[in-house]
Structure 1
Amino acid sequence: MPGRFFLTSGHAEICTFLCLSEQGAADPPRLNIAPGEELCCRVEDRLERMRWGLIPQGRTNARGRPVMEVIVNARSETLFAKSAFQGVRRCIVPVNGWYEWTGETRRKTAWSIKPKDGGLLAFAAIYDVWHGPGGVEVPQFATVTCEPNADVKDIHHRMGVILAPDDFDTWLFEKEEAVQELMRPWPDGALLVEKAVDLGPDGPRAS
């Protein structure tokens, strides 16, 4: 599942990829986007900047107990069944790829995962708005995960649900039953997995 993202495409390319007219503020290129940071996401027919991670205020698990940790990723298998996700809506997160790590603590290897043919990926995500003290409102999202494809399975047991452009409207606008079949691994052989190069302070860092 995505632990960190990277985004290198320009604003115009992102809008074209998301099937939107160019709009909103540009998302600057970043090589190491961590949970808690903001990204521009497609919400319905617009771009909106959102925080990565659902603040758990008011969320409860199946036993009715409060959820204590910020939710960064949501399992597709239980997405529509868990009480913690009641009332969330759907959005799309555009990135050029993501990082995963393998190995022992302090000896981890960082892996870069991106489309084999280059360009952008569209991650399926859920979102809502957290209402904080003093009327503060924070749009926030969590990516949706599924079983890994053959490209990813050797480095992680989960991967993010990736959407094809033809499926964008289905994910954003259709009912739950229609999107179930979209929450599946990306086709085998479509991703390039390689050791991440040393990118300095802005590059991948194991957490």
Structure 2
Amino acid sequence: MPGRVFLTAPLTEVAAWMGADAGDLSEPPRRNIAPGQEVVVCTAERRLVRMRWGIIPVGRVNARGRPVLDTIVNARSETVFDKSAFEGVGRAVVPVNGWYEWTGAARRKTAWRIRPSDSAPFLAFAAITDRWQAPGGRVLDQVATVTTEPNADVAPIHHRMAVILEPADVGTWLTGSEDAARALCRPWPEGRLHIEEAKDVDWQAP
């Protein structure tokens, strides 16, 4: 969908791959990043920063003018450009080495690790961003990944997958027109993902 992501490569490698500036940002390998935690994000200015994964939609309303109450972790590409709840959001990219999905009933879940099957070390997830001013004046930058229909590789384990961008399309997503960005919201080509059971990952805790 993605449910969890992992980023284990040094941020200097991430920055080089994305043509971005990491500044003095650094962090240890992270093998199980959950919604609500901070993730590394590439902004429209090609800077790597940290943002909270999950948009708290304070002040956002739906088409009927009613408040949006659920935290937005993943935004559907079919509606992200049209729903009033997403009006004014920015665009960014979440670089990852891969992500996890789970299948099965509670207490008997199977974890699946999904990563590139070719020589590419990273995947670039299309994302939207928002800024929340919390009580007391604290400002919190937030991000939500954008999802689409699954390809044939992912469909057996989940009904959605992240919009994954080709490296050459990252700039279009970040700063291109809405129509150009919308055209990138499609399933990743089949055969370019490696999926394996991840017995070392706990679905209950990051």
Q: Structure 1 length as normaliser, TM-score?
A: 0.94
User: Partner of 2:75 in structure 1?
Assistant: 74
Contact 2:22 2:49 (8 Å CA) reproduced: no
Structure 2: state its 5+ residue gaps.
none
SS at match of 1:134: coil
Contact 2:22 2:47 (8 Å CA) reproduced: no
Given the superposition, is the C-alpha separation of residues 10 and 103 from structure 1 closer, same or farther in structure 2, using an over 3 Å criterion? same
Contact 1:6 1:98 (8 Å CA) reproduced: yes
User: Partner of 1:117 in structure 2?
Assistant: 118
User: Partner of 2:159 in structure 1?
Assistant: 157
In structure 2, give the amino acid aligned to 1:61.
Answer: N
1:20-169 maps to which residues of 2 (within 5 A)?
20-44=20-44, 45-117=46-118, 119-169=121-171
Partner Cα distance (1:16, 1:204) in 2 = 31
**More helix by proportion, 1 or 2?**
1
Aligned sequence identity (%): 58
RMSD: 1.2
Provide runs of 4+ in structure 1 moved above 4 Å: none
In structure 1, give the amino acid aligned to 2:14.
Answer: I
Give the number of equivalent residue pairs.
203
Structure 1: state its 5+ residue gaps.
none
Partner Cα distance (1:130, 1:83) in 2 = 17
Given the superposition, is the C-alpha separation of residues 27 and 18 from structure 1 closer, same or farther in structure 2, using an over 3 Å criterion? farther
Given the superposition, is the C-alpha separation of residues 130 and 80 from structure 1 closer, same or farther in structure 2, using an over 3 Å criterion? same
Q: Structure 2 length as normaliser, TM-score?
A: 0.95
Partner Cα distance (1:22, 1:128) in 2 = 20
Partner Cα distance (1:7, 1:161) in 2 = 17
